[in-house]
């Protein structure tokens, strides 16, 4: 199709009379008959047929073409293509026809939009070829035209529907993997990549076993059985042993994939990560525990509810409570139940280090920044990147470190000692204290702005004397632990011991309860823990006659000797189990002339 007036590129006329396309040697009657016959045939087909000259002006067409472009038949002869389409579309049509003109190669399935006389837009599919005269000169084009408006709309709707399905496919949190009867991967969604370690773009077309490189592939037996028997996979729980998530557990379900002829062609596998659910079920089985926090009292249920609402929120948390209430357990529960569970959990005891070392411990240092800094060192904030840092005994940090910590919390960055380059801090900060920080603020010992920045959410852990209903559950918990570690089968406590436990004020809280039961395990030889197996001070509260000062020397001596023997003469541990100071233990060792030689206890003569 050429725009030049008069001649085309080959120099011939751009116009051609309708009769020029038929046999000029036939007589007028034969020619008229042939034209009428051809017209009848063309008008009987649904596709539009049109012949245009080199300018794109209609020379001949059938009725279907008129219906398709929406113009009456009497208006079609002499109608130019630019009159029933937009200028942009006309440029595209011109380029397509011009290519056919230059190359002589037909163009099949060329689609564009036309506008009917009433303004309705229709999409047509056009197959274009050249018309040549008897001498082989190019004189026009013939086109077969189809109205594909409905088909185009259906395809667009199908594409939108497919897009919606794809969006749903990718947004489902369960992994979805499709593979054929030979276990060749056909498709996998994003969740499958996250759970199973697949890379869909790379792994499609590979057999499934070759794609699972980050786990023990414990799912393959069920999959192979399903393909072999052409059956579905009912819910099958597996331990993944994933390299990046060792505790990951999953449930796999497989449905048969059938062809249009109802032939088995593969399986659609759904993989659900139940790691957190499995952990929760395990905790429920362990008698009202939450990440080793034991208790079913109302105060503990409130605590569990608060922890559940905080596990996946990266807000700063201040955990308060008396010593021994389990603040570190709560911090661990927050970390290991949340979305940072696979990242580090780093703990810093702020009271155990002097100011100079604490700063370096928290933020790191560069070589030469202070005496003894012989090389660069990472701080705990860097070590905890992506995870959680627990600042224990936060109430004891000095003012200068308080200021630096405030900057970390507000700006999410810090600097190493001896360096001025800021480092981003992608960590969740949890703090613990048994101090009254509000009182320390009043006394000017703790920054008020830091206090309120730490106390975005405060978790107050009740003391054991506030939750005595939980003592039986805690006792059962510790019995299980110590039966395993001591290799014993102690069944429980005597009624007297349980009465002592329920009346005792527990100044050391759960830590003291644990040590008391551990002490009893050292002394108990039977199936039941009795009062005589308890620490001296606890027995003294129950029965003053049995206090440390009034017991018979031989009984006290035997108890101390048994505990020392059990702890391999670790005096600090023995003193803790006995419930006395280390200095008191040294005095009694001297008093009873207790000693050891080459790891064996030499018992002095009874006094």
Q: Mean of the pLDDT values across residues 55-82?
A: 91
Best CA proximity match to 223, nearest among 182, 172, 259: 182
For 15, 25, 45, 81, the CA distances from 19, given in Å and listed in that order, are: 12, 11, 22, 21
Cβ atoms 238, 195 nearer than 8 A = no
* Residue 145: predicted pLDDT: 93
For 123, 424, 447, the CA distances from 357, given in Å and listed in that order, are: 77, 21, 21
For residue range 482-494, list pLDDT tens digits in order: 999 899 999 899 8
549 vs 469 pLDDT, higher one: 469
Cβ atoms 58, 52 nearer than 8 A = yes
Please state the φ and ψ torsions of residue 170, each to the nearest 5 degrees. -80, -25
* Residue 441: predicted pLDDT: 92
Residue 49 reports pLDDT greater than 50: yes
Question: pTM (2 decimals)?
Answer: 0.47
Please, what is the average pLDDT of the chain?
A: 82
For 154, 157, 169, 190, 367, the CA distances from 161, given in Å and listed in that order, are: 10, 6, 12, 19, 61
* Residue 598: predicted pLDDT: 34
Lowest mean pLDDT among 320-329, 467-476, 556-565: 556-565
* Residue 204: predicted pLDDT: 86
State the Cα–Cα distance between residues 68 and 51, nearest whole angstrom.
15
Best CA proximity match to 391, nearest among 425, 368, 342, 441: 425
* Residue 99: predicted pLDDT: 93
244 vs 115 pLDDT, higher one: 115
Cβ atoms 68, 148 nearer than 8 A = no
Length of the chain: 607
DSSP string, 236-294: EEEE---SS-TT-EEEEEEEEEE-TTS-EEEEEEEEEE-HHHHHHHHHHHTTSEETTEE
Q: Mean of the pLDDT values across residues 293-308?
A: 86
* Residue 31: predicted pLDDT: 56
DSSP string, 30-55: HHHHHHHHHHHHHHTSSSEEEEEETT
* Residue 168: predicted pLDDT: 67
Residue 580 reports pLDDT greater than 80: no
* Residue 604: predicted pLDDT: 37
Residue 11 reports pLDDT greater than 50: no
With bands split at pLDDT 50, 70 and 90, how would you rate the model's confidence at 33? low
For residue range 74-95, list pLDDT tens digits in order: 889 999 999 999 999 999 999 9
Residue 283 reports pLDDT greater than 80: no
Element housing 132 (H / E) = strand 121-132
For 265, 337, 388, 389, the CA distances from 429, given in Å and listed in that order, are: 52, 15, 6, 5
* Residue 286: predicted pLDDT: 45
Residue 138 in tokens: 């190019």
Residue 222 reports pLDDT greater than 60: yes
CA 468 to chain centre: 39
SS (H, E, C) 460-479: ECCCHHHCHHHHHHHHHHHH
Q: Could you give the angle at the alpha carbon of 489 between the alpha carbons of 485 and 493, nearest 5°?
A: 105
* Residue 164: predicted pLDDT: 73
CA 599 to chain centre: 52
* Residue 318: predicted pLDDT: 94
Biggest CA pair distance of the chain: 150
Residue 2 reports pLDDT greater than 70: no
* Residue 195: predicted pLDDT: 85
Share of the chain above pLDDT 70, in %: 85
Residue 239 reports pLDDT greater than 60: yes
DSSP 14: S
* Residue 597: predicted pLDDT: 52
With bands split at pLDDT 50, 70 and 90, how would you rate the model's confidence at 584? confident
* Residue 601: predicted pLDDT: 41
Q: Mean of the pLDDT values across residues 377-384?
A: 86
Q: Mean of the pLDDT values across residues 118-130?
A: 92
Q: Mean of the pLDDT values across residues 440-449?
A: 92
Best CA proximity match to 556, nearest among 537, 572, 571: 537
With bands split at pLDDT 50, 70 and 90, how would you rate the model's confidence at 101? very high
Cβ atoms 416, 379 nearer than 8 A = yes
* Residue 205: predicted pLDDT: 87
* Residue 9: predicted pLDDT: 37
With bands split at pLDDT 50, 70 and 90, how would you rate the model's confidence at 29? low
Domains and CATH numbers, the chain: 18-152 (3.30.450.20), 172-277 (3.30.450.20), 310-462 (3.40.50.300), 467-602 (1.10.8.60)
Residue 122 reports pLDDT greater than 80: yes
* Residue 12: predicted pLDDT: 30
State the Cα–Cα distance between residues 412 and 426, nearest whole angstrom.
7
């Amino acid at each position: 199709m050429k725009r030049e007036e008069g001649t085309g590129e080959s120099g011939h006329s751009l116009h051609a009379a309708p009769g020029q396309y038929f046999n000029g040697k036939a007589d007028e009657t034969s020619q008229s008959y042939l034209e009428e016959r051809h017209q009848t045939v063309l008008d009987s087909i649904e596709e539009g047929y049109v012949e245009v000259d080199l300018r794109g002006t209609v020379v001949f067409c059938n009725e279907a073409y008129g219906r398709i472009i929406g113009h009456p038949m009497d208006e079609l002869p002499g109608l130019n293509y630019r009159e029933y389409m937009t200028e942009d579309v006309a440029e595209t049509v011109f380029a397509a026809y011009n290519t056919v003109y230059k190359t002589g190669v037909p163009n099949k399935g060329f689609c564009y939009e036309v506008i009917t006389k009433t303004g309705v837009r229709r999409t047509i599919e056009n197959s274009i070829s050249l018309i040549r005269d008897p001498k082989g000169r190019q004189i026009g084009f013939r086109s077969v035209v189809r109205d594909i408006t409905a088909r185009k709309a259906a395809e667009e709707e199908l594409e939108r529907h497919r897009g919606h399905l794809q969006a749903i496919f990718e947004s489902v949190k369960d992994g979805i993997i499709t593979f054929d009867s030979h276990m060749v991967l056909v498709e996998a969604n994003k969740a499958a990549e996250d759970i199973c370690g697949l890379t869909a773009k790379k792994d499609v077309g590979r057999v499934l076993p070759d794609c699972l490189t980050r786990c023990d592939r414990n799912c393959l037996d069920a999959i192979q059985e399903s393909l072999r028997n052409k059956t579905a996979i009912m819910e099958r729980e597996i331990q993944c042993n994933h390299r990046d998530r060792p505790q990951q557990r999953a449930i796999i379900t497989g449905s048969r994939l059938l062809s249009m002829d109802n032939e088995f062609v593969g399986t659609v596998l759904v993989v659900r990560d139940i790691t957190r659910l499995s952990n929760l079920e395990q905790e429920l089985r362990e008698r009202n525990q939450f990440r080793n926090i034991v208790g079913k009292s109302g105060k503990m249920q409130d605590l569990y509810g608060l922890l559940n609402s905080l596990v996946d929120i990266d807000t700063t948390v201040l955990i308060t409570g008396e010593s021994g209430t389990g603040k570190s357990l709560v911090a661990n529960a927050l970390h290991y139940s949340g979305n940072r569970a696979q990242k580090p959990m780093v703990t810093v005891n702020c009271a155990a280090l002097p100011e100079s070392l604490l700063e370096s411990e928290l933020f790191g240092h560069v070589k030469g920044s202070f005496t003894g800094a012989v090389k660069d060192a990472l701080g705990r904030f860097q070590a905890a990147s992506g995870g959680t840092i627990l600042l224990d005994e936060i109430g004891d940090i000095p003012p200068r470190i308080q200021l630096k910590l405030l900057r970390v919390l507000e700006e999410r960055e810090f600097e190493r000692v001896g360096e001025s380059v800021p480092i981003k801090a992608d960590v969740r900060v949890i703090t613990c204290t048994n101090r009254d920080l509000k009182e320390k603020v009043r006394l000017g010992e703790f920054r008020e702005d830091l206090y309120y920045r730490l106390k975005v959410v405060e978790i107050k852990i009740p003391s054991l004397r506030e939750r005595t209903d939980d003592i039986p559950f805690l006792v059962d918990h510790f019995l299980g632990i110590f039966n395993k570690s001591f290799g014993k089968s102690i069944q429980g406590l005597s009624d007297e011991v349980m009465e002592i436990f329920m009346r005792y004020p527990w100044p050391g809280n759960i830590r003291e309860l644990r040590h008391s039961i551990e002490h009893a395990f050292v002394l108990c030889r039977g199936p039941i823990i009795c009062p005589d197996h308890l620490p001296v001070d606890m027995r003294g509260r129950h029965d003053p006659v049995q206090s440390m000062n009034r017991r018979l020397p031989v009984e006290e001596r035997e108890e101390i000797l048994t505990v020392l023997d059990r702890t391999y003469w670790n005096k600090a541990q023995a003193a803790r189990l006995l419930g006395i100071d280390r200095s008191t233990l040294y005095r009694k060792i001297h008093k009873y002339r207790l000693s050891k030689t080459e790891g064996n206890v030499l018992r002095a003569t009874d006094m």
